[in-house]
Structure 1
Amino acid sequence: MTHSTKKILVLGPAWVGDMVMAQSLFKVLKEKHPDCIIDVAAPAWTLPLLERMAEVSGKIALPFKHGELAFFDRIKFGQSLRSAGYTQAIVLTNSLKSALLPWAANIKQRTSYLGEMRYGLINDIRPLDKTKLKKTVERFVNLGLDQDQAIPANLPIPTLTHDEENALSVLNRMAIDVPTSKILGLCPGAEYGEAKRWPIEYYAEVANQALSQGWQVWLFGSEKDIQATSAINQITKNRCADFGGKTKLGEAIDLMAMCNTVISNDSGLMHVAAALGKRLIAIYGSSDPHHTPPMHPDAVVEYLGLACSPCFKRECPLGHLNCLKQISTKRVASLLNIKSTE
């Protein structure tokens, strides 16, 4: 590293979807400073994403539990980074605790929004006008620009790499034949809550239609989604490959890269599918596709925009979940060019 090379430490988000969108910032930084070194510090579970981003040089797993302050531990961890020679820190989260580490690391320029009254901890405070920066990805990218620089009209889209050999190894481990037909990936989970989840029976209906026309159907999800993926597989008489809770995030990414089409709720895996360039059908209920849309230009967003939407609630406050239930299987099946029995 030459004396003039920028070395940037990014304090990354904890959510999978947000970390995918953060890649747009990394791309903007590389466009602006081609020789810059970008290291990202984030919770360990996000590191498989960073390993699939060509712009990221170093991945630093933060050892802190979600939500804990761990004041002195953060100070000590920050101090351990002083010798790394970072010229700038960009903090993508708004909490007080996230700003402690770059301050303790004595990084000269610490860029972020004010957040939780972080005067001093953040010394390059950027104004946040939510009417101008409506999308999460725009807010991330803005932190990589100069103070007076406008957001680019066309933001670079996330593009994750993948490892086909790793995917084939997972298939072999689970005794699943290498597919010879089209693959439909279904992502029925959404960690935020029920109001972001298209009904299980709807996913199963589309899965049955795809299976009847020769597709393979793969079910993706974390351990928290096992009940959902298992229910879909049961309804389809166990004709799907159920990866729910059986794969690590990196393995799920590599397997999803083999899919032709993915149907997903507004979730981290939705953003993964978009970043893999998959044909994506993204289903929105209580959340806002204008705030956190899939960034691939060919993604199809299914959103009804009812009078009660978006409510941003974990459960439907009106008890009917119409924002999701009124997105029909017939409509979604038509996007796959398969027939619906609805």
Structure 2
Amino acid sequence: MTQTLIVAPQWIGDAVMTQPLLARLRARGERLTVGALPWVAPVYRAMPEVDHVVEFPFQHGGLQLRARRAIARELSGRFDVAYVLPNSLKSALLPFLCGIPRRVGYLGEARVGLLTERLKNPRNKPPMVAFYSALSGETEGLEADRPRLQLDAATVTAALGTHGLQRQGYVVFAPGAEYGPAKRWPPIHFAELARALDRPSVLLGSAKEAPLCAEIAREAGAARCIDLAGRTSLVEAFAIIAAARSVVSNDSGLMHVAAAFAVPQVALFGSSSPLHTPPLNQHAQVVWLKQDPGYQPPLDCAPCFERECPLGHQRCLFDITPQRVLELLRSAGT
């Protein structure tokens, strides 16, 4: 059996979108070990295709060559092929230092000599799932790939019990977006939506997003929100999403998690594009004013893919009303 190392991306949403690639590799008989940063590793533990997860102790920024060499010594001789999913130079270093014979990835950051098989980066931004799946060398059915995550029932039950939640008894709000504020629906809109729902809203996010979630809970009223931002592990957050009635989120990692668990969801897009990173879920409803012919004046500025609105108005998200999202939730039975 081919022994395969996957060098994972550093963002949760990107990690979720790599699952169809891993499913393709596993289906043709490759045994998969994923090397991932600690905050991404739980995503791969929720993929049944993965045999083993190695946590890389790297930090953002810098080559950290000494640490990469140390890990390379531990992994040397174990793998036949490596798939390098990020486009950075440093992500391709470890498979090279390990001496893995086949090293597959996209061209990027002057790493030609580090990879043995190099795909050209597409000029336009393609759907990211197909972008990753193409590394398999297969060309058929890439656009039909949909990420899937799995948790055992005991994990879900334990998380609900820890936080006093009932399955299907709440709506999850994921109001953060690690990339920047240009991807975040206004907190006051989340708060208004929470007040309009007939069941509590559970706020999920990282510790960095705790002030944002606290603001929403304060505006909505304590009886309407259960604020768990920064108070769950990533696995617990996955379990809470998997058991939710529905999820409302920005274009974020947790949006892709909800899609991978096939939970009914409303996904709000502003500066980014659902043509590039859609929630691949038959139960997803996407709101993007760029594609709304009734919205005037048209959003000629979208998608800008900026961290902050360069024009200072952020109409693309401010003008999505809580009432519109509420109607979509009700149409889905929430």
TM-score, with length taken from structure 1:
0.90
Q: After superposing the two structures, state which structure 1 stretch, 49-58 or 121-130, moved more.
A: 121-130
Q: 1:282 is matched with which residue?
A: 267
Say which of 17, 25, 32 aligns to 1:21.
17
- Residues 274-316 of structure 1 show CA distances to partners (whole Å, capped at 9, x for unaligned) of 0011001000111111111111133111101111101111111
Is the CA contact (8 Å cut-off) linking 1:24 and 1:155 kept in structure 2? no
SS in 1 for 2:53: strand
Q: 1:155 is matched with which residue?
A: 144
1:249 aligned onto 2:245: no
After superposition, the Cα gap between the structure-2 partners of 1:100 and 1:303, relative to the gap in structure 1 and judged at 3 Å, is same
Ranges in structure 1 where 5+ consecutive residues have no aligned partner: none
> Percentage identity across aligned positions?
38
- Residues 229-279 of structure 1 show CA distances to partners (whole Å, capped at 9, x for unaligned) of 111211222122111110011110011111011000000000000001100
Is the CA contact (8 Å cut-off) linking 2:167 and 2:244 kept in structure 1? no
Distance of 2:134 and 2:73 partners within structure 1? 27
Is the CA contact (8 Å cut-off) linking 2:171 and 2:202 kept in structure 1? yes
- Residues 61-83 of structure 1 show CA distances to partners (whole Å, capped at 9, x for unaligned) of 01111112112321231122113
Distance of 1:181 and 1:198 partners within structure 2? 24
Q: 2:130 is matched with which residue?
A: 138
After superposition, the Cα gap between the structure-2 partners of 1:128 and 1:181, relative to the gap in structure 1 and judged at 3 Å, is closer
Q: After superposing the two structures, state which structure 1 stretch, 15-24 or 94-103, moved more.
A: 94-103
Q: How does 1:1-342 map to 2 (within 5 A)?
A: 5-31=1-27, 33=28, 35-84=29-78, 86-131=79-124, 134-145=126-137, 149-174=138-163, 176=164, 178-179=165-166, 182-210=169-197, 213=198, 215-239=199-223, 240-305=225-290, 306-337=299-330
SS in 2 for 1:44: coil
Distance of 2:168 and 2:120 partners within structure 1? 51
SS in 1 for 2:259: helix
Distance of 2:169 and 2:327 partners within structure 1? 16
Is the CA contact (8 Å cut-off) linking 2:262 and 2:282 kept in structure 1? no
SS in 1 for 2:18: helix
Is the CA contact (8 Å cut-off) linking 1:76 and 1:104 kept in structure 2? no
Letter in 2 for 1:55: E
Letter in 1 for 2:115: I
Is the CA contact (8 Å cut-off) linking 1:159 and 1:276 kept in structure 2? yes
The size of the alignment, in residue pairs, is 322
User: In angstroms, what is the RMSD of aligned CA positions?
Assistant: 1.7
CA shift, 1:164, in A, is: 4.0
Is the CA contact (8 Å cut-off) linking 1:78 and 1:100 kept in structure 2? no
Ranges in structure 2 where 5+ consecutive residues have no aligned partner: 291-298
CA shift, 1:182, in A, is: 3.5
TM-score, with length taken from structure 2:
0.92
- Residues 186-245 of structure 1 show CA distances to partners (whole Å, capped at 9, x for unaligned) of 0000111111000001111111111xx2x1311111101111211121122212211111
